[in-house]
Amino acid sequence: MSDLLRNIIRFFLFILIQVYVLNAVPHLHQLVIPYLYFLFILWLPFAVSRGWLLIISFFTGLTLDYFTLTPGLHAAACLLIGYLRPFIINILAPKDANEFTYREPSPKAMGWTPYLIYAFVLTFFHNTYLTFLEWLSFGSFFLFIQKVLSTTAISMLLIITTELLFTRKLKFRTNTA
């Protein structure tokens, strides 16, 4: 299966799971909102250019905004993580080109610790920005921090569960030099 077709299928699966499963589950608390759809952006291949990454991120967020009737909130948060993703990968990627031979981020490609840091940082930024845009002011700073941390924790739990349950066949990059 080509990378393009695989990513199109992933896009629709993540959006459908977010809209029809995670958003349909009654919230455990006003502070806990499970988000998993942005894992699609985290799983995009390393070779995607920054321009295309921003376009894909914006379209992903805009698609979820369409289903949740939130004009631009998810698009802005996805655009932020699409912008930050290359910087985080450059910080966490091995400096030796021989160790960095996979096409897309995963625990197998990066190692569990760098992958979890990568996922946590982008999840934290996504949820912080999304929560800030929802509130557009800090009514209660303590409540804001609680919501960001609880949403990040549940999202990280979903990401780790997804990684453990659905292992991906990873392809090697053909040009490692």
The number of C-alpha atoms within 13 Å of 108 and in the hemisphere containing its C-beta is 14
Is 61 a domain residue? Answer: yes
Per DSSP, the three-state class of 121 is: helix
Is 173 a domain residue? Answer: no
Is 174 a domain residue? Answer: no
CB-CB contact of 103 with 57 (8 Å): no
Is 175 a domain residue? Answer: no
**pTM higher than 0.85 for the full model?**
yes
Is 44 a domain residue? Answer: yes
Asked whether residue 109 carries a pLDDT value surpassing 70, the answer given is yes
- Which among 88, 87, 27, 81 is positioned nearest to 56, based on CA atoms? 81
C-alpha separations of 142 from 31, 80, 138, 147, 158 in Å: 12, 23, 9, 9, 24
Q: What is the total count of domains within the chain?
A: 1
The range of the structural domain enclosing residue 150 comes to 3-165
Is 51 a domain residue? Answer: yes
CB-CB contact of 103 with 3 (8 Å): yes
- Which among 123, 173, 169 is positioned nearest to 149, based on CA atoms? 123
CB-CB contact of 118 with 105 (8 Å): yes
Is 21 a domain residue? Answer: yes
pLDDT tens readout for residues 14-68: 999 999 998 888 766 777 888 999 999 999 998 899 999 999 999 999 999 999 9
The alpha carbon of residue 173 and the mean position of all alpha carbons in its chain are separated, in whole angstroms, by 22
Interatomic CA distance for residues 110 and 127, integer angstroms: 23
Q: Average pLDDT in the 87-102 region?
A: 74
CB-CB contact of 170 with 104 (8 Å): yes
